[in-house]
Amino acid sequence: MSKETEFAVILQALPGIGATGLSRLLEQFGSFEQVLQFTGPQLSSRYRKALRQYQADPEHHHHLARQILKNCASDGIAIVTIEDQLYPPLLKEIDSPPAILYVRGDTNLLSLPQIAIVGSRQHSATGESNASAFAKI
């Protein structure tokens, strides 16, 4: 596992960053490591607050990230960042691609054509039935 993956997991776990924020910060700084090292005022207060949490006790956050990485590895879950070669090329082309994917199974299949089912927590019975039927195909 690369250090960049560890940095990505740290950032994702910080309150106030979120998936969209993680992608925006990566785009702005070019690497997850650069985001964690940033100390300037050019960020929104939410991101600055999150980064101050990390900077106050970086070893604690690295320890937590290593624990997440270890747990994922023991559960057969691969962590693929948007900068990894295994990241699906077509997924990079959407408006807000997720910066991190947690993958159970063969990561080599990520480059093959795929279907994603995106739903709502407050779905209708018909929507649930349709999603279930599509998932079985």
Assigned domain for 96 exists: yes
Crossing angle of the two packed helices 58-74 and 45-56, in degrees rounded to 10: 90
Fill in the DSSP letter of residue 100: E
**Structural domain count of the chain:** 1
Q: End-to-end CA distance of the chain, in Å?
A: 34
- Give the integer Cα–Cα distance in Å for 55 and 59: 9
Assigned domain for 13 exists: yes
Assigned domain for 124 exists: no
Structural domain for 30, as ranges: 3-105
Tens of pLDDT along the chain (137 residues) come to: 689 999 999 999 999 898 888 999 999 999 999 999 988 888 888 899 999 999 999 999 999 999 999 999 999 999 999 999 999 998 898 888 899 999 999 999 998 887 777 767 788 999 889 888 888 76
Assigned domain for 132 exists: no
Residue 59: what residue type?
A: E
